[in-house]
Amino acid sequence: MSTMPRALRTHDRHDFDLHELAAAKGGATVSVCLPAHDEERTIGHIVRRIRKELVDEIGLVDEIVVVDDHSTDRTGTRAHAAGARVVAASEVLPEHGRGSGKGQALWKSLHASTGDLVVWCDADLHDFDIRFISGLLGPLLTDPEVAFVKGFYERPIDGRARGGGRVTELVARPMLTLLFPELAAVMQPLSGEYGGRRDVLEQVPFVEDYGVDIALLIDITRLVGVDRMAQVDLGRRVHRNRPLEELGPMAAQVMNAALRRAVPGMVPDHAVLSAPGSEPVEITYRERPPIASLRRTELPG
């Protein structure tokens, strides 16, 4: 007799008290990683709040790692001044490529950080709150079964609160519902705020570009099962909204990552996206190997 899988654990950021989380942490270590490309306007404030309220005051976070992804502004300087350890993406595992891209920056931050628990947060948030970090850590610190946590939120656009963004609602959510129905309850499959246990995160590959978020969600589910995942309502989130012409390539990358996991070999590694009146955009699929596989190759013999 089969049993139904447990429903996806869903929490609110206010469910977790900071002092209780610090006590529950025990001997575990926590890394907060911020991949950043030209985010000098927001990165200093984010790092400063994490450093003051979660590192110095309560000891919930042990390190803040900013991966400066080929910025041309003062992102690295401001992050360092605010209290982060800044590493250049081009200098982490350069033998595996120096190119830029969100997925590659996430992968390199996993290698560069040291925490038993790793939490990622986008670096372009205009209304950052430490609950974005503590909310994600809540399920990981209070429930040993939880291996991966995804954040969700409301995004005010044009003065109105909305759920997911355009790529989420028109591409990611329909694809999960049709191809990966066990993940249909995930509120924000493309959110940049998520975290997990290092021993799990190091077992999966990282897609180089914007397909990384949905690919990690699918791959980790296949690795540990939806029973070991959770999502947390992080409240309201304000960040840079991209123009429509940038969303087509992002959507194509998301589709590529999801489709090749649903039907291996279905989509090519390389394609050209052409829209009327716009320059053609190359869509290339590449992924970085699991960090654990790199460590195995470094072993003697």
pLDDT at residue 52, as a whole number: 98
Distance CA 131, CA 151 (A): 11
What is the pLDDT at residue 146?
98
pLDDT reported for residue 202: 98
Give the model's pLDDT for residue 300. 40
CA distance 67 to 129: 20
Amino acid of residue 196: G
The Cα-based distances of 7 to 89, 138, 191 in angstroms read 38, 18, 20
End-to-end CA distance of the chain: 47
Q: In whole angstroms, give the CA distance from residue 196 to residue 33.
A: 12
The per-residue pLDDT for 279 is 85
The single residue listed with the structure tokens 């595992």 is: 93
Tens digit of pLDDT for each residue in 86-144?
999 999 998 887 766 889 999 999 999 999 999 999 999 888 999 999 999 999 999 99
- Residue 250's SS3 state is helix
Q: What is the pLDDT of residue 58?
A: 97
Question: So what's the pLDDT on residue 243?
Answer: 66
Q: What pLDDT does residue 274 have?
A: 86
Q: Which of 90, 129, 104, 102 is nearest to 234 (CA)?
A: 129
pLDDT at residue 212 greater than cutoff 50: yes
Close Cβ partners of 10 (under 8 Å, ≥ 6 residues apart)? 185, 230, 231, 232, 233
d(CA 296, CA 273): 38
Per-residue pLDDT at 241: 62
pLDDT in tens, 2-39: 444 457 999 999 999 999 999 999 999 999 999 999 99
Long-range contacts, 51-58 (Cβ 8 Å, 24+)? 51/82, 51/83, 51/84, 53/130, 54/18, 54/130, 54/133, 54/134, 55/83, 58/18, 58/19, 58/22
pLDDT for 2:
40
- pTM for the model stands at 0.91
Residue 14 half-sphere exposure toward CB, CA atoms < 13 A = 2
Grade residue 1 by pLDDT with cuts at 50, 70 and 90: very low
Residue 162 has pLDDT above 60, yes or no: no
Longest CA span, the chain: 61
State both tokens at 212. 């990384």
User: Cα angle vertex 77, ends 76, 83, to 5°?
Assistant: 90
Question: Of 146, 154, 160, 94, whose CA–CA distance to 117 is shortest?
Answer: 146
Check if the beta carbon of residue 221 is closer than 8 Å to that of residue 180.
Answer: yes
pLDDT tens by residue, 223-240: 999 999 999 999 987 655
- Give the span between the Cα atoms of 201 and 237, in whole angstroms: 25
Which residues on adjacent β-strands are paired with residue 161? 156
Please report the pLDDT score of residue 286 as a whole number.
92
Would you place residue 166 in the very low, low, confident or very high pLDDT band (cuts 50, 70, 90)? confident
Q: What are phi and psi of 20, to 5 degrees?
A: -70, -35
Q: Give me the mean pLDDT over the 37-66 stretch.
A: 97
pLDDT score of 299: 42
Identity of the amino acid at 189: P
The tokens of 140 are what?
């990981």
Give the domains, in start order, of the chain with CATH numbers. 9-298 (3.90.550.10)
- 131 contact partners, CB below 8 Å, separation of at least 6: 13, 14, 234, 235
